[in-house]
Amino acid sequence: MTNILKLIQERQSVRAPYDSGRPVAKQDLRQILEAARWAPTPHNMQNFEIIVVDDRRLLETLASIKYPLSYSFVEENYQNLSFSEEELLRKKVGLLGTMFPPALRTPGAKLDEGTYEEVRSGWRRAIQTSSVLGVVTYDPKKRAPDSEGDFLGSIGLGCVLENMWLMAHSLGIGFHVISILNRDPAEKEVKKVLDVPENLKIAFAFRLGYAVHTQARTLRVRRELEDFTHHNRYGNKSID
CATH value at residue 139: 3.40.109.10
User: In the Cβ-directed half-sphere of 52, how many Cα atoms lie within 13 Å?
Assistant: 13
Query: Residue 141 to residues 92, 108, 198, 200, 215: CA-CA distances in angstroms?
Result: 38, 38, 12, 9, 40
Nearest to 13 by CA among 200, 125, 174, 122: 174
Report residue 30's pLDDT band, with 50, 70 and 90 as the boundaries.
very high
Length of the chain, in residues: 240
> Domains in the chain: how many in total?
1
Within a domain: 178: yes
- CA pair distance 101, 97, nearest whole angstrom: 8
Please check whether residue 163 is in contact with residue 237, taking contact to mean a CB–CB distance below 8 angstroms: no
Q: Can you give the pLDDT at residue 73?
A: 72
Within a domain: 166: yes
Within a domain: 171: yes
pLDDT one-digit tens code per residue, 167-185: 999 999 999 999 889 988 9
Give the Cα-Cα-Cα angle 33, 205, 140 (nearest 5 degrees): 90
pLDDT one-digit tens code per residue, 75-125: 787 888 998 999 999 999 999 888 877 777 776 666 666 777 777 788 888
Domain that holds residue 186: 17-67+129-213
Within a domain: 35: yes
Q: Which helix (H) or strand (E) holds 233?
A: none
Nearest to 153 by CA among 13, 39, 9: 39
E-strand ranges in the chain read 49-53, 81-82, 95-96, 132-138, 174-178, 201-209
Within a domain: 77: no
Within a domain: 72: no
Q: Can you give the pLDDT at residue 122?
A: 82
Within a domain: 109: no
Within a domain: 209: yes
Q: What sign does the CA torsion over 168, 199, 56, 65 have?
A: negative
